[in-house]
Amino acid sequence: MPIFIKTEKFKNKTLELSNNERKKFLLMHKEWVKEMNKLGHYIQSGYLINEKKIPGGGGLLILEAKDYLTAKKIIANDPMIKNDLVNWDLQEWISIDRRQQKFSNYLG
């Protein structure tokens, strides 16, 4: 099944939220990822840090979906997107050997 990568960065309005407000939305995102996995979607999500281990590089979500439209429909329900908190981009990942293995083969 094809693998898709969603990258994202907080919008300025998100950075202006208090830490508690931002954490509320991040918790909603984490719960959404857990729920999607329970429903049979293979999704992993995390954030990016620099060489000093300081966050701020944005987020990365990896998922399997039958096609781009399906992947886009899935991530449209991400609370970070639904609440307009991030600028995001979705792209399909193609292995250099052009084989489309299961995502779980890469990350276990």
Domains, the chain, in order of start with CATH, read: 3-107 (3.30.70.1060)
Q: For residue 39, what pLDDT is reported? A: 93
Q: What are the residues whose beta carbons fall under 8 Å from the beta carbon of 73, sequence distance 6 or more?
A: none
Q: Which residue has the higher pLDDT, 53 or 61?
A: 61
Q: For residue 1, what pLDDT is reported? A: 87
Dist CA 27 CA 25 (whole Å): 5
Rounded mean pLDDT of the chain? 89
3-state secondary structure of 87: strand
**pLDDT higher than threshold 60 for residue 107:** no
Task: Give first-to-last CA distance, the chain, whole Å.
Answer: 15
Lowest mean pLDDT, pick from 30-44, 49-63, 72-86: 49-63
Overall average pLDDT of the 66-79 stretch: 96
The Cβ of residue 9 has, within 10 Å, a number of other Cβ atoms equal to: 15
Overall average pLDDT of the 54-74 stretch: 92
Q: What is the residue-wise DSSP string for 52-83?
A: TS-EEEEEEEEEE-SSHHHHHHHHTT-HHHHT
Q: What are the residues whose beta carbons fall under 8 Å from the beta carbon of 76, sequence distance 6 or more?
A: 82
